[in-house]
Amino acid sequence: MMIKKILNPVDGSKHSVHSTKYAIALARLLDAQVVLLHCHDSFPVILAEPYFQEAVNKINKACDQLVNPFIDILEQGDVEFDIRILEGPPGIRIPDVARIEKMDLIVMGSRGVTDFAGLFLGSVAHQVLHKSDCPVFIAK
């Protein structure tokens, strides 16, 4: 099995930082590319201008602030990488991206920033494990 594309979903948690470091180590060993993915909340659909654009700008700014430290980690790791920022629930979007972009491996954190919500809704890692077609590496 050849692993050339590694999907690394992040949410800003410490587990995401660990998963990015594992993704870098694996990418170095396997001469693979890392695709950093962040899924944000849906854009509001009931707001009119200029409030809609303000909400979009706020979400985009929050995404930039969340993703930038991971970009720094990847740059320091000296691996080839790309970035995807998508709207929607990560438990659905991550397996979709992995399938559409033909990822060979998903490397993600075991818990996110909302540990408590995972008790009631099911964790994103659990959803990804059951919905993904490719192997999933869970980092703690």
Distance of CA 94 to the CA centre of its chain: 7
Region 5-139: CATH code? 3.40.50.620
pLDDT for residue 29: 97
Q: Note whether 136 and 129 are within 8 A (CB).
A: yes
pLDDT for residue 112: 65
Residue 6 φ then ψ, to 5°: -115, 120
pLDDT for residue 34: 98
In the three-class reduction of DSSP (H, G, I as helix; E, B as strand; rest coil), residue 133 is classed as coil
- Residue 19 and residue 13: Cα distance in Å, rounded? 10
Q: Which residues of the chain have pLDDT under 50?
A: 115, 117-122
User: Is the peptide bond preceding residue 50 cis, with omega within 30 degrees of 0?
Assistant: yes
pLDDT for residue 47: 67
Number of H helices, E strands in the chain: 5, 5
